[in-house]
Structure 1
Amino acid sequence: MTGASQPHEAKPTVEELREQVNVTRTELGRTVEALAAKTDIKARAQVKATEMREQMQHRAAHAKDRVQGQTAHVLHLAQDRTPEPVQERTGQVAQVAHRNRTVLIVGGAAVATAALVLFRTRGRLYRARGSWRGR
C-alpha cells in the first residue's frame, strides 16, 4: 500500500530507505548467485561426477573387503578339511616349485612354443590338403 492510502504512517527517513535498498540488494545478489549456480551445468556435472566416483570407490572398497573375508573363510575351511598328508605334500611341492621356478618357467615356455609350432604346422597341413577335417 502506498503512503497516500495510509496518511497516518510516517515517511521513512533517508537512512531507512538506504538500509532497505542494501537489504534488497543483498537478497537480490543471493538470488542471482543461486540462479547462476543452477544454470552452471558444467559445474553441476563435475560435482555429480565427483559424488559418483566417491560412491563407486566406497562400493569397490566394501566389495573388496567382503571378497577378502569370504576368501579367507573358504581357505580356512579348505585347510581344516584337507587331510594332513595332503597338506604336507602340497607344501613340499610348493617349496620345490619355488626353488626351481626358473626351470619351471623355461620348461613352460618350451611347452608353449612347441604347442604353438605344432598347431601352426597342423593348420598348414590341413590347408594344404584342402580340408580342415583331414579328408
Structure 2
Amino acid sequence: MKEEPRADIGTPVPNANSPEELREQAERTRDELGKTVEALGAKADVKAQAKEKTAAARKQASEKASLVADQIRERAEQATDLMKEKTPDPVLERTAQAAAQVRETASKAGQYAADKAPDPLLEKAGRATSVARANRKPLLAGGVLLAVVLLVRRARGRR
C-alpha cells in the first residue's frame, strides 16, 4: 500500500524538487505547530476557562434576576389595581385618612429624630428615603400585597 504525501499537514514530501519548496513546507509546519501549541495552551489554562464560565454564569443570573424582578413588578401592579377595584369606597376613604395621619405622625417623628440624631445617621437616612421615593410604586404594591396576605391568613385562622 503506497501512501500519498500530504503537504497540507506539514509532513515532509519525499519528492520535493527544490530547497524553496522545502522552506515553504517547513514554514507551513511551523505555523501549524504554533496554532496547535496555542490551542493546547488555551485548553490547559484552567483559570481563564473558569473566569469565562463565571462571567457567563453571572450574566445569565443577572438576566434571569432582571426578568423575575420585572415579572414581580408587573404582578404587584396588577394586584394593586385589582385591590383598588375590589375595595369599597368607605374603606378607601378610611385608608386615605389613616395614611394622612401616618404621614403627619411620621413627619413629627422625623423632625424630632432630625433634631436629636447625629449627622452621619441623617445622611444615611436621607439616602434611604431617596431610594424609597424612587421605588414608591413597587413598595406600595408590596405593602398592599402583604396586607392582602395577612388579611387572608387572618380570615382563614378564624374558620
Scaled by the length of structure 1, the TM-score of the pair is 0.67
Distance in 1, matches of 2:60 and 2:28, equals 40
SS of corresponding position for 1:100? helix
AA at the equivalent of 2:17? P
Distance in 1, matches of 2:66 and 2:56, equals 15
Residues 1:58 and 2:56 aligned together: no
Distance in 2, matches of 1:42 and 1:79, equals 55
Structure 1 residues 86 and 104: CA distance shift in structure 2, 3 A: farther
AA at the equivalent of 2:95? T
Q: Partner residue of 2:35? A: 30
Structure 2 residues without counterparts, runs of 5 or longer: 6-13, 113-159
Q: How much does 1:15 deviate?
A: 1.5
AA at the equivalent of 2:65? A
Q: Partner residue of 1:122? A: none
Alignment of 1:67-106 (within 5 A): 67-103=72-108
Residues 1:16 and 2:3 aligned together: no
Larger radius of gyration: 1
AA at the equivalent of 2:101? V
Distance in 1, matches of 2:4 and 2:57, equals 53
SS of corresponding position for 2:17? coil
Distance in 2, matches of 1:80 and 1:30, equals 68
Structure 1 residues 43 and 76: CA distance shift in structure 2, 3 A: same
Q: Bigger relative contact order, structure 1 or 2, given CA contacts below 8 A and separation 6+?
A: 2
Distance in 2, matches of 1:2 and 1:82, equals 88
Scaled by the length of structure 2, the TM-score of the pair is 0.57
The runs of at least 4 consecutive aligned structure 1 residues that moved more than 6 Å come to: none
Distance in 1, matches of 2:16 and 2:91, equals 101
